[in-house]
Structure 1
Amino acid sequence: MKIHVLAVGQRLPDWAEAACADYLKRFPPTQRVVLQTVKAEPRTDTRGAEACMAAEAERLRAALPKSAHVVALDERGQRCTTEQIAQRWQRWQHLGADVALLIGGPDGLNPALREQAHERLRLSDLTLPHALARVVLLEQLYRAWSIVHGHPYHRA
């Protein structure tokens, strides 16, 4: 299983780039986790959020691996503890497919794309800046991996 984190956005601040790179390199070579950014649609006075989210959804769909199990990150998604994310990780391993986690742009994910996802999760009850959401997601994925594999990173 390969984990794909597909995020709408621009270049991250240096601190977030460094944190994302740090968590990505912690995974062993046998567990591939990749972060891919797709271009955000420029917001204008004449182009509304709906049109922008639709364009971003097309870019996300184009970046999705074939037959991937799609998980949309959304403020209306299901709340999860770290241990529940680890349990999901174990279920994902048995799917026989890659997993793609989607992070929307400034207005979130296109509603149609969000509804087509196999799962919808929320990272927090708080509103997180986009860069921080990526860091939190990668950290939680690493923590879930560590729980599943008995690595001492997670101390319960």
Structure 2
Amino acid sequence: MKLVLVAVGQRLPDWAQTACDDFAKRLPPDARFELRTVKAEPRGHKSVAALRAAERERIEAALPKGARLVVLDERGSTLTTAALARQWLQWQQQGDDVALLIGGPDGLDPALKSAAQQSLRLSDLTLPHALARLLLIEQLYRAWSLNAGHPYHRE
């Protein structure tokens, strides 16, 4: 199984990029984590539906074939860190690659949301894109550490 984070958006602020890179590097090679960034659609005078559809095409092109789709959405299910660690183990047992999707400023296209096998919420708060990406990568690292018996996570 490979975990692939597909996120809409170009460059993160330096502080966020540094932190994301740090947590991604902490994951061991057997965790098989990959970040794929897709370009946000230029806003202009396009409708939200047109923006989301253009970004959906880019996201779909970045997805691993046959991957389980997990969208990050404010209306998704809430998981504790321990539940995310258990979820990671279930994904590993199923053997399919898992694609975690973070949309752009206007969110994800409804077709992507309906195609997803799972929808997760990171917080009840609205988070800036850079923080959402960082929070997800850190929680993936924390879930891995919990499963591996690494002392990073404490209860």
| Fold conserved between structures, TM > 0.5 | yes
Tell me, yes or no, if structure 1 residue 99 matches structure 2 residue 98: yes
1:63 aligned partner:
62
- 1:85-96 to structure 2, matched below 5 A, reads 85-96=84-95
**Distance in 2 between residues matched to 1:67 and 1:97, nearest whole Å:** 7
- 1:4-15 to structure 2, matched below 5 A, reads 4-15=4-15
Q: What's the offset of the Cα at 1:149?
A: 1.1
Q: CA RMSD, aligned part only?
A: 0.7
**Distance in 2 between residues matched to 1:128 and 1:145, nearest whole Å:** 23
TM-score by length of 1: 0.97
Percent identity of the aligned residues?
63
4+ residue runs over 4 A deviation:
none
Specify which structure has the higher proportion of helix: 2
Offset from partner CA, 1:62-89 (integer Å, 9 cap, x none): 1100111110000110111111111110
Query: Please, which runs of 5 or more residues in structure 1 have no aligned partner?
Result: none
2:138 aligned partner:
139
**Distance in 2 between residues matched to 1:18 and 1:116, nearest whole Å:** 32
**Distance in 1 between residues matched to 2:81 and 2:30, nearest whole Å:** 22
- 1:1-150 to structure 2, matched below 5 A, reads 1-45=1-45, 47-150=46-149
TM-score by length of 2: 0.98
Query: Please, which runs of 5 or more residues in structure 2 have no aligned partner?
Result: none
Count, aligned residues: 155
**Distance in 1 between residues matched to 2:36 and 2:62, nearest whole Å:** 8
